Amino acid sequence: MIQVRGLTKTISTGTHRVEILRGIDLDIPKGQVAAILGPSGSGKTTLLGLLAGLDSPTSGSILLDGEEIAGLPEDRMAELRGRKIGFVFQSYHLIPTLTAEENVLLPYELTGGGPDGASRARELLASVGLAERGEHYPVQLSGGEQQRVALARAFITRPPILFADEPTGNLDSENGSRILDLLFDMNRRGGSTLVLVTHDQELALRADRRITLRDGRVVADEP
Ligand SMILES: Nc1ncnc2c1ncn2[C@@H]1O[C@H](COP(=O)(O)OP(=O)(O)O)[C@@H](O)[C@H]1O
Ligand SMILES: [Mg+2]
């Protein structure tokens, strides 16, 4: 369960103050698939980063399963992220000096892992259609392929909550559908909560709920 109350984010850059989020209240129950929609610049990426504890809010509260994460010290936040959260970035954030397989394996090793890591990484790469690409480095992969590696990496710890920023943004329809099947399968089988920023109509329609942001506020919230 994710409970957000009065969440704001303001950034001051010298002379300017940008109010990115202007008071968000949101409850996302465990196991829900929530799509976050809204025009570019409406605050979607910022909201996702705050919910995942990658950034800290200016004010407000974020409870993950009853635990306040706003203002949590970074070491405790890192521990909680490792236990609970998977994140797929809009810009992938793969590590350039690691192969696809090593990138997928990394979060598993960082959280204690186990001897089955390499085989799990290979299975996940196969499930995103990259069985033959495990030894390749990010620069050797297209944008869509990097996006699929980033998804495989997010799945490896079987996180109870997965945040993904435009997970199908750079995929053709065949790979996009494959990724959606994988996401929804994860939700169904593992009961994981998915919070997805998307412009993808197919994804938005398959979600349990559509939350629309505009100018840092929730302007629609529809089942
Ligand atoms: N670090 C930052 N410094 C200044 N402005 C920012 C920063 N991050 C985001 N913004 C601004 O906040 C607004 C919302 O950004 P973002 O959350 O990335 O929107 P979205 O993902 O919906 O496109 C945009 O106007 C963006 O330019
Ligand atoms: Mg964005």
Instruction: Tell me the ligand closest to 39's alpha carbon.
Output: 1
Distance of CA 120 to the CA centre of its chain: 20
Q: Under a CB-based contact definition with an 8 Å cutoff, are residues 134 and 125 in contact?
A: yes
Average pLDDT over residues 140-144: 93
Q: pLDDT digits over 2-58, tens only?
A: 999 999 999 998 889 999 999 999 999 999 999 999 999 999 999 999 999 999 999
Average pLDDT over residues 128-149: 94
For residue 189, the model assigns a pLDDT of 84
Residue 38 alpha carbon, nearest atom of ligand 1: 22
Identify the residue whose C-alpha is closest to ligand 1 atom 27.
41
Calpha distance 79→10 (Å, rounded): 26
For residue 176, the model assigns a pLDDT of 86
Domains and CATH numbers, the chain: 28-59+73-222 (3.40.50.300)
CA of 194 to the centre of ligand 1 (A): 22
Ligand 1 residue neighbourhood (C-beta within 6 Å): 11, 13, 18, 20, 38, 40-46
CA of 162 to the centre of ligand 1 (A): 21
CA of 69 to the centre of ligand 1 (A): 21
Pick from 78-82, 95-99, 121-125: least confident: 78-82
Average pLDDT over residues 126-154: 94
pTM: 0.91
Structure-token match 């710890």, residue found: 157
